[in-house]
Homo-oligomer: A and B are copies of this chain.
Amino acid sequence: MVHNFNAGPSILPHTVFEEASQAILNFNNTGLSILEIGHRTALFEEVLNEAVSLVKELMHLDENKEVLFLHGGASTQFFQLPMNYLSKDKKAAYLDAGVWGSKAIKEAKRFGQVDVVASSKDKNYTYIPKDYAVPHEAAYFHYTTNNTIEGTQMQSIPSLSMPLVADMSSDILSREMDFNRFSFIYAGAQKNIGAAGVNLVVIDKKFLDKSSSAIPSMMDYKQHVANGSMLNTPPVFAIYVCLLTLRWLKKSGGVAAIEKVNLQKSNLLYNTLEAIPLFQLPVAKEDRSHMNAVFTMNNEALEQKFLQQCKDAQMIGIKGHRSVGGFRVSMYNALPLSSVEVLVELVKDFAKQHG
């Protein structure tokens, strides 16, 4: 059995693979493949409607929220969002706490003024900046809830008066949060929601009202909402995989239940690593991510040996991002606790051999 610690695209529940595989041969006993059904049919409308309903239910969204499934990944939202909300005389506030957030900042600057309220770049993004002032005139405040590459996570929602916007690509639906406090949430699907090739967007109706209409149709949130994510042919199969994953999450007890398992997994790993001097944890303790654990050994020969042992034990996706080095273990919703237990045993054995 392979233990998949990939940072994304990443492991999905096994039942999702089985159901998706079956739907490609014969979707809902129609004799048709999910890949060949028309998007403007009752068959697909049911898929989309149920996926939207499950997002609303699992996130406990109030009636002011619209849910969209859009083409592209979070990188598309990096520019689509400011294209809708910024102009030369408008300002947005951004927190610079990781590689992805800094890319969002770069794209926003093309459209308007950007106030970077704080940055942890000075320490290679190993912590989340905490004390900063946000200009009250900002059209929105943007941050990344979980930094996939650096292994940091915001543990609480900032108390601010302006609209909150969050890139939740790598921790959405992994922990309980008051999602209704956000005016705009986006997330590439390929971690906790489904497979690569679709974006989840949750937008508050009041914030939607303020979006621009003097932009290309495919960039216009109002048009997507008016057309129920069907402004053009949607990524049918990618949305179907989201539906299957959302159903699995509901059946597993929802966000509160999965959060407990996620904490078990990350606590087990961090506690093990903390107790072994051979391994270093570069991230500030209070900012550690429960989705992506980053650690190093400061010994390249040993790092290679550790990676090889992981590989021999059928563990994949352990190598750190090229910009950080070391190791990164991603523990998204679908990763079973047993995979972390197997890894932890290997970590301990390795420490005994080389500590």
List chain A positions with a Cβ less than 8 A from chain B.
Answer: 1-2, 4, 6-12, 16-18, 20-22, 24-25, 30-33, 35-39, 71-76, 78-79, 83, 103, 106-107, 110, 188, 190, 195-198, 214-219, 231-238, 241, 314, 316-317
Contacts and interface: CB of A to CB of B under 8 A. Distances in A.
B196 A233 contact: yes
Contacts of A32: 2, 4, 316
Contact of A79 (B4, B216, B241): B216
B21 A9 contact: no
A35 B7 contact: no
A80 to B, nearest CB: 8
B25 A233 contact: no
A71 B79 contact: no
B18 A21 contact: no
Nearest to A111: B216
5 contacts: A72-B232, A79-B219, A110-B214, A195-B236, A197-B235
Contacts of A4: 32, 36
Contact of A36 (B1, B10, B234, B237): B10
In the A-B complex, list the 3 residue pairs whose CB atoms are closest, starting with the nearest: A197-B235, A79-B216, A75-B232
A229 to B, nearest CB: 12
Nearest to A198: B197
Contact of A235 (B8, B78, B196): B196
Nearest to A195: B35
A12 to B, nearest CB: 6
Nearest to A37: B9
Contacts of A197: 71, 197-198, 234-238
Contacts of A36: 4, 6, 9-12, 17
A317 to B, nearest CB: 6
B17 A232 contact: no
Nearest to A1: B31
A47 to B, nearest CB: 12
Nearest to A14: B33
